Structure 1
């Protein structure tokens, strides 16, 4: 019996004789240096050209030069690339038309249209923007309606709103109250767009995680650490739900105006809510720009969404040419960006990168392809946008 005197008491945990002590050096690896390579052995389909011609509804080829917190106070524009630099990529990737959302206002808008739309007819279309820099003027509503008239006359195909409205534009200069999305002073602008059959492209709010604390529980922690100005957490900002509710109140007041809700309505994390918006407002559409990272990690829900709303979803990338595009790898205008989008829409590949970057820029996950039917693909790639903008099919 002496041989049993050193046995651990019944029920006591037993140490694994094969275990080793933790490697504390490896445990302290910075997250920014962690770049795992998947060990999955899966088909990888390269889709160099789309099955149908593409209208990219969401690009930024120009930007208003004098911008303060997203509020334009001038008409000069910066041009990120020339048609000669863009057309070779477009031709290689089957992109029929790029829609430049940030065409600016006044003389800047006229310059953007001349440099793109007139230089290569049919390949580029330009939208105008609100004159937020003049918002403090007492006759702003009338001035803005007249600006829409001017934009229509010079060839703008629609109106684009950045997230300025709801998150940056304030009463007075900088210190006043935030102006709400459903402020009645913009009603003449929405109605002017309806009168000219100019769709309104809305970027209201931002990803839901941007309104939460940028702490260890936030799945987009790294992205917010890289771009701290993208965080809207705190009492100085409204919440995501509050912004979207104000947007919906505004849409309800203007049933004659067509609203294209950018980035899957800025609620791609909650497709059931986007569906409710589309069901409630028949004058709305969405684009998929910069949100395949969200759509592709919920492929079954996304596929059902595409099936149901196939006539109201448009292709878009949020592409920005270099040099600015180098700062946002999920948006850099290049061959690889389009190939990723085509792979997501056309194949049933599993677990692949959603952006041309070493580290996933929005969150550390991968996506799955939807393998949409030809009928749906044709609508998403081209026909829905062509119908909205009056482009011949």
Structure 2
């Protein structure tokens, strides 16, 4: 029987997971649940007796090493848990990147909520870019038609030397026989308007239209034959494609005591959903790459394989037309600094810098500290602590700007 995702998350009650004095993750009963929810029932389990839980919790240490029992932390909610570290560690302040930077992954942030005057927000953003060392930013609009034209007017007419725009994929009438031709025509039109790439093209299990009402056989996945002419034309026009396949693997894991990411990410959870699974989605990328070897694809977020850099390395070895960006995967590189630094050194000609995290000055500077310093035990945004990669100059230059300059389309309009 299929489970409604919203009902599942409500029953799982991930935001209600509590921390007990013994470090056990239990589930706090929800107020007013007279019938006893799944969360309330789970609260009665003594996880200390579960061998799998002990292995995940303590690894080879076998246990906490101290007597454990109930205490005042039993009702601290996981979503509220923000431990202050007692570690005294060096903090390097890096106000401006060591080399000029091309941010290969941003979105139309001035047009999002909270900005009464988008043009002023854009002007303020350019000032921030100057202060932190961002030379140019690539706006992944995902837009076509009038929406794309409006963004051209806003970005390229006001700041032609500071922004590059990517367009989207025409997605109306994908079931019609003329769809492939219409998609190509709109791509060519956007190119003439100023598009210098395509993206962010996203498939998290329901195809690139993200239409959950489509039957599985009608969904438009990146390797669908209906997109062959589109990807071919993109290659001919030298338009790189920023592509987002799947998501962090934890999004398909149950939101329970074993869930890797904290409750802020439960909005992305697809466990028990009707879309493709993580392992079903990942092959779509190499399938698309094989069909279109003359088109450049930039798999954003480390191709959602930042948790398995060996697997990602194998994919890069197999496909010369594949590149990756590190946008919004600070936590992946920050929690495995030696492995990530080696990967970024070994594949220094294939990795691009990107943020995908807004316009805040502090955000950019946190990236510089992560990539350029050897600081330890840094506060991260996903609960995990980060450790600086201390990347050498040659890797930083390629990551920050060199690779983007080499593979992107910099033709003037």
Does the pair score TM above 0.5? yes
Query: In the alignment, does 2:245 pair up with 1:204?
Result: yes
Following superposition, the deviation at residue 134 of structure 1 comes to 3.1
Q: What is the aligned partner in structure 1 of residue 78 from structure 2?
A: 31
Query: In the alignment, does 2:412 pair up with 1:388?
Result: no
Following superposition, the deviation at residue 33 of structure 1 comes to 2.6
Q: What is the aligned partner in structure 2 of residue 114 from structure 1?
A: 153
Work out which of the residue numbers 362, 372, 382 in structure 1 matches 2:391.
Answer: 372
Separation (CA, whole Å) in 2 of partners of 1:273 and 1:204: 15
- What is the count of residue pairs matched by the alignment? 340
Residues 79-88 or 157-166, more deviating: 79-88
Q: Where do residues 153-302 of structure 1 align in structure 2 (5 Å cutoff)?
A: 153-164=192-203, 166-168=205-207, 174-177=213-216, 178-225=219-266, 227=267, 230-234=268-272, 236-302=274-340
Instruction: Verify the 8 A CA contact 2:199 2:242 in the aligned structure 1.
Output: yes
Q: What is the aligned partner in structure 1 of residue 40 from structure 2?
A: none
Q: Where do residues 14-25 of structure 1 align in structure 2 (5 Å cutoff)?
A: 22=69, 24-25=71-72
Instruction: Verify the 8 A CA contact 2:352 2:403 in the aligned structure 1.
Output: yes
Residues 55-64 or 375-384, more deviating: 55-64
Q: What is the aligned partner in structure 2 of residue 16 from structure 1?
A: none
Following superposition, the deviation at residue 83 of structure 1 comes to 2.9
Query: In the alignment, does 2:97 pair up with 1:97?
Result: no
Following superposition, the deviation at residue 133 of structure 1 comes to 2.9
Please list the CA deviations of residues 269-325 of structure 1 after superposition, one character each: whole Å capped at 9, or x if unmatched.
11011101110000111100000101110111101101111011111000xxxxxxx
Instruction: Verify the 8 A CA contact 1:170 1:176 in the aligned structure 2.
Output: no
The Cα RMSD (Å) is: 2.5
Please list the CA deviations of residues 313-345 of structure 1 after superposition, one character each: whole Å capped at 9, or x if unmatched.
111000xxxxxxxxxxxx232111001110111
The 3-state SS of whatever aligns with 1:109 is helix
The 3-state SS of whatever aligns with 1:167 is coil
Q: Where do residues 144-155 of structure 1 align in structure 2 (5 Å cutoff)?
A: 144-155=183-194
TM-score (norm 1): 0.81
Q: What is the aligned partner in structure 1 of residue 48 from structure 2?
A: none
Following superposition, the deviation at residue 268 of structure 1 comes to 0.6
Separation (CA, whole Å) in 2 of partners of 1:297 and 1:243: 25
Q: What is the aligned partner in structure 1 of residue 62 from structure 2?
A: none
Separation (CA, whole Å) in 1 of partners of 2:207 and 2:157: 33
Residues 158-167 or 257-266, more deviating: 158-167
Q: Where do residues 122-137 of structure 1 align in structure 2 (5 Å cutoff)?
A: 122-137=161-176
Residues 107-116 or 27-36, more deviating: 27-36
Separation (CA, whole Å) in 1 of partners of 2:124 and 2:133: 15
Change (3 A) 1:93 1:26: same
Query: In the alignment, does 2:87 pair up with 1:40?
Result: yes
Gaps of 5+ in 1: 1-18, 66-77, 319-330, 355-359
Separation (CA, whole Å) in 2 of partners of 1:169 and 1:59: 19
Separation (CA, whole Å) in 2 of partners of 1:164 and 1:345: 29
Q: What is the aligned partner in structure 2 of residue 307 from structure 1?
A: 345
Separation (CA, whole Å) in 2 of partners of 1:122 and 1:106: 23
Gaps of 5+ in 2: 1-65
Instruction: Verify the 8 A CA contact 1:214 1:224 in the aligned structure 2.
Output: no
Change (3 A) 1:266 1:63: farther
Separation (CA, whole Å) in 2 of partners of 1:233 and 1:168: 17
